[in-house]
Structure 1
Amino acid sequence: MSTDTTEAPTALPPIKRRNAELVLILLAVVLTMTALALSGLNLNGRVPSAMWTYGLIFAAMSLAMHVALRFIAPYADPLILPCALFLNGIGVAMIWRLDAADSGEIEHAGVGMQLIWAAVGMGLAIALLFFLREPRVLQRYTYLSALVAIILIALPMIPGLGISVYGARRWIGFGPFSVQPSEFAKIALVIFLSSYLVTKRQVLSLAAKEIKVGRFKIFDLPRPRDFMPMVVGWVVAIGLLVITKDLGTSLLLFGTFLGMLYVATQRSSWVAIGLTVFLLAATLAMQIFWHFQQRVDIWFNAFDQEVYDRVGGSGQLVDGQIAMAYGGMFGTGLGGGQAHNIFAADSDFILVSLAEELGLTGLMAILVVFFILVERAMRIALASKELFIKMLASGIGFVMCFQVFVVLGGITRIIPLTGMTTPFLAAGGSALMASWLMIGLLLRMSDNARRPAPQAIQDEGATQVISR
């Protein structure tokens, strides 16, 4: 991660590629409208009007985002925006299909609100691109970012402001609207970790104390004064999430924390220490918190009749696995499944809905698009010359990667079900806006990384003048 090289072999080429991006965006729009049409045909035997209303609205929003990039970030990575729009569009189509199965082909508030939140998220991304010309300025606000994250996580605990839904206290209410602050807190925590790890990178990489068993070294420990501020901030954030029963975000932030720590120090011993601490903390939490015990019981005993029948039991998880089994390799077709009968089919279990109707093939295609987003984030980290940008881009990539893993791992019983939403796909405004803010950061960082040096731009302009 050296910063003194003039020409890094991983540097991205200074090519705009906006036309290629436009073609991919149009493909994402066509796929969204096709998904709406197929859903209507399978549900009602005709192409729904939603294909034109919602489809064209989504197309207009997508093209507006593309035009904004041409002026604000012309050198941004051409794959990031189409991938995000594809995921967002498939989510909109599936939400409409789930609503239509219950109430027929009418105007639905659910998909309408999802489009509104998507527009707000895209607007926030454009505003971030316009006002945040140099993301490295965020490095100045190390501890302020940590404080903002902790305040956001703690907001649902305030009496009269926080809202408890299905046993979890994750939301705050403003009249008819509710917001999940932890979705925005994860961005603030990534900024904090990026800044702090860059500042303390050298001292964290140097061992202050070696832990040995006999003559064999097990791992190294840094000086407590260098490492403890980050540990304290992380423990406070995770502790608040456990108290508010937001286990999914706790697991997400823990994985992101370990990933970024390894990127900064290149020491695998930190991963081993982190996993050990996690297992000890999970064992302790299972003894203390009843909701954690319930999650583990559902995980291990999902198919027990007693666990399945009780309120808040494993019925949702088991029904989801049966739906995915019915989907098979190629799915039942959009509109041809029964996933709408599962609780939270449009939010926490939207991957189940997609897996049933698109099959393993369709689900893998969606996961590949997520993989491309994560790969482009890591590519930005490799191409950037500043350490803070490297850490920030890789941190956002880790957040997206682990968030999908937590959701997919939960519905397939690889890990306990946590009730987390899938980026861009699931219904909900907070998660969608936070996802678009992360896309805005990636687009800005990629534009700066791909943009040619000022001297190169002047030379190119002079060459064009001479050729004329």
Structure 2
Amino acid sequence: MTVPAVPPGGPLAAPSQSTQAGPANQSALMGFVHRRRRGAELFLLLIALAVGVGGYAAVGLGVEDKIPADIVAYGGWLAALMVGAHVAVRLVAPYADPVLLPVVAALNGLGLALIHRIDLAKDATFARQQLTWMTLGVLLFVATLVILRDHRVLARFTYTAGLLAIALLIAPMAPGLGYEVNGARIWIGVGPFNFQPGEVAKVLLVIAFAGYLVLHRDALALAGRRVLFVDLPRGRDLGPILVMWLISLGILVFQRDLGSSLLFFGLFLLMLYVATERAGWIVVGAGLFALGTVAGYHFFGHVRVRVNTWLHPFEYYDGPPGANSYQLVESLFGLAWGGEIGRGLGQGDPARVPEASSDFIMAALGEELGLTGVIAVLLLYGLIVERALRAALISRDNFGKLMATGLAGIFALQLFVVVGGVTRLIPLTGLTTSFLSYGGSSLVASWVVVALLLRISDQARRPLPDLTPTADEPPDDQATQVIKGVGR
């Protein structure tokens, strides 16, 4: 029997050291089984429920000096959603990561409390709508886990996912279907419903990128000309990154959506680097990004306005609609007023920022919970990214590794551009903060992303199949058995 060659080292390679270990080490490797840890997940969910319900009660006490009358119904609904999600994971993904779901539930509960606080100041009902979207998100979370029993099935739809993602990105430009909100044409409306197709497109793009890079990573990893200790890619291999760069520029120019443009290009560049381990791609990507930034500033007015209001916010405080920095300056005032420990839930004035419930919810968080609360939330997002990358590291298939890395990149890049914009580290981009901000499209898509991560984690943590030969099956040599186990 011919033993297939083990791929060379790298993030997508099989653990070749297994084939070199002695029989005792191989037996230990095959005998290792991850614990299910569903009990730990349930305990952490109780803490997450306390965060959500406690925040809701604290808002009522801070604003109206009394606990909200509907606290029991609200807490019961949140508990039902969390327990339902936990039961689904326990039944269909028993080996999934036990930390992801509780962290996400805590962020979503805290976001509902913050939106409710802003609703009381503005006499709005966004929190009630957000709870409805959370319900839909949890239902789709459960449906994804139940229907998708093996994430590797998605690799069959690499090009279908890519084409569908491009169609969704173009959809807002269709007359009568797409419409403009706050200067960005990123929404479509179908009857009474409206949503951002870009939120679905980013998940489809991760699937398409992962499938494409698994097939072509060997060619893309080949080195070309060497410049200053960096091996640049070959010119014939620049096609994919140029196409993605042009798509990102198209989103920036025609839809005026700086945030999505940065997210999609950055996501592809991240996955390309992880797949090939070639720093030359980072150099090429940075060069294309710099070229696009300079061209955008000089040729497109809306980009120039974003940059100018970022560099000189106080000069544009009273500027005309669409060209002022009123929200940015007010968010900076709120963060400064919050200080280290914040004013307390219900004691600040986040309503001074018009989009406090969506784009600037981190400013409202900083004003009422202070720098301490902001750091705590950032750590929770860091946990999501860390657990996603952990799933990528232990995944037994290359497609799962890249897909988990891309899904982690969605949370990491989106959080960076949002918090960077609110704190004036980078120009404002207009993205929402996953699970915290008001927005049905973002919330539902984020719950589906978590379901995909749990499915990859469950597949990676499951025990390896028993490779002991039966009485009527001739035994294979040890190296072949190990390779079979890794391949499965």
Q: Could you tell me the TM-score, scaled by structure 2's length?
A: 0.88
Larger displacement relative to structure 2 (447-456 or 364-373): 447-456
The residue that corresponds to 1:154 in the other structure is: 170
After TM superposition, the structure 1 = structure 2 runs for residues 76-95 of structure 1, keeping only pairs within 5 Å, are: 76-95=96-115
Question: 1:425-466 deviations in whole A, cap 9, x for unaligned?
Answer: 111110001100100100100111111123299xxxxxxxxx
**Offset of residue 310 of structure 1:** 2.6
Does the Cα contact within 8 Å between 1:302 and 1:308 map onto a contact in 2? no
Answer yes or no: is 1:246 the counterpart of 2:257: yes
Matches of residues 283-294 of structure 1 in structure 2 within 5 Å?
Answer: 283-294=294-305
Identity fraction in percent? 44
2:434 is the counterpart of 1:434: no
1:37 and 1:51 in contact (8 A); partners too: yes
Shift of 1:100: 1.4
Query: Deviation of residue 229 (structure 1)?
Result: 4.0
Q: Helix, strand or coil for the counterpart of 2:189?
A: strand
**1:241, CA displacement in angstroms?**
4.7
Please give the per-residue CA displacement for 1:44-95, whole angstroms capped at 9, x wherever unaligned: 1111124222222111111110011111111110000001101110011111
Match of 1:56 among 76, 81, 92: 76
Contact 2:244 2:265 in 1 (8 A): no
Shift of residue 230 of structure 1?
A: 5.2
- Which residue identity does 1:448 align to in structure 2? Q
Selected match of 1:191 from 191, 201, 207: 207
State the Cα distance separating 1:242 from its structure 2 match: 3.5
CA 1:45–1:4: 2 relative to 1, 3 Å? closer
Superposed CA offset, 1:188-235 (max 9, x none)? 11111111111111111112x3154xxx555322352x4414532552
Match of 1:325 in 2: 336
Q: Secondary structure at the match of 1:274?
A: helix
Give ranges in structure 2 of 5+ residues lacking alignment.
1-10, 19-25, 469-488
- In structure 2, how many angstroms separate the alpha carbons of the residues matched to 1:4 and 1:42? 55
For 1:466, the equivalent position in structure 2 comes to none
Q: Which runs of 5+ in 1 are unaligned?
A: 458-468
Q: What's 1:169 paired with?
A: 185
User: Partner letter of residue 102 of structure 1?
Assistant: K
Root mean square deviation, CA, Å:
2.2
1:210 alignment partner in structure 2: 225
Distance 1:322 1:443 in 2: 39
* Partner SS, residue 454 of structure 1: coil
Report what 1:222 is aligned to. Answer: 234
Letter in 1 for 2:305: Q
> What secondary structure sits across from 1:455 in the alignment?
coil
Given that residues 205 and 222 in structure 1 are in contact (C-alpha distance below 8 angstroms), is that contact kept between their aligned partners in structure 2? no
1:68 equivalent in structure 2: 88
Q: How does 1:38-57 map to 2 (within 5 A)?
A: 38-57=58-77
Tell me the residue number matched to 2:21. Answer: none
Say whether residues 1:128 and 2:139 are aligned partners. no
Q: Distance in 2 between matches of 1:415 and 1:427?
A: 22
Distance 1:456 1:311 in 2: 67
| Contact kept in structure 2, 1:242 and 1:250, CA below 8 Å | no
1:398 paired to 2:418: no
Q: What secondary structure is seen at the aligned counterpart in 2 of 1:210? A: strand
Kindly indicate whether the alpha-carbon contact (under 8 Å) linking 1:33 and 1:52 is maintained by their aligned counterparts in 2: no
Conservation of the 8 A alpha-carbon contact between 1:196 and 1:230 = no
1:404-443 deviation digits (Å, cap 9, x = unpaired):
0000000111110011100001111100011001001001
Letter in 1 for 2:232: D
Q: Distance in 2 between matches of 1:239 and 1:12?
A: 49
Q: Tell whether 2:81 aligns with 1:25.
A: no
In structure 2, distance between residues paired with 1:115 and 1:156: 26
Partner residue in 2 for 1:461: none
CA contact (8 A) 1:153 1:237 kept: no
Equivalence map 1:365-404=2 (5 Å):
365-404=376-415
User: Deviations for 1:237-292, whole angstroms, at most 9, x for unmatched residues?
Assistant: 54235411111011112221221111111111211211111011111011221111
Contact 2:356–2:363, Cα closer than 8 Å, also in 1: yes
Q: Is the 8 A contact 1:206 1:222 kept in 2?
A: yes
Q: 2:277 aligns with which of 254, 266, 276?
A: 266
- Residue type at the aligned position of 1:101: A
Structure 2: how far apart are the matches of 1:57 and 1:242? 43
Q: CA–CA distance in 2 between the matches of 1:310 and 1:227? A: 42
8 Å contact 2:133–2:443 — kept in the other structure?
A: yes
Q: Could you say which residue in structure 1 is the equivalent of 2:268?
A: 257
Query: In the aligned structure 1, how far is the partner of 2:234 from the partner of 2:113?
Result: 50
Choose from 425, 443, 453 the match for 2:436.
Answer: 425
Aligned residue identity for 2:166: I
SS at match of 2:309: helix
- Quick check: 1:197–1:264 contact (8 Å CA) kept in 2? yes
1:262 partner letter: Y
Give the match's secondary structure for 2:466: helix
The separation in 1 between residues aligned to 2:332 and 2:75, in whole angstroms, is 31
Cα deviation, 1:13-60, whole Å, max 9, x if unaligned, reads 521101100010011111111111111111011111242222221111
Deviation by residue 1:346-378 (Cα, 9 ceiling, x = unmatched): 100111111110000011000100000000010
| AA partner of residue 43 (structure 1) | V
Aligned to 2:473: none
CA distance in 2, matches of 1:59, 1:308: 45
- In the TM superposition, 1:272-351 aligns within 5 A as 272-304=283-315, 306-312=316-322, 313-351=324-362
Contact 2:418 2:430 in 1 (8 A): yes
Cα distance in 1 between the residues matched to 2:178 and 2:398? 38
Give the secondary structure class of the aligned counterpart of 1:303.
helix
Q: Judging changes above 3 Å, is the alpha-carbon distance between structure 1 residues 233 and 277 closer, same or farther for their aligned structure 2 residues?
A: closer
Whole-angstrom CA distance in 1 between matches of 2:32 and 2:152: 19
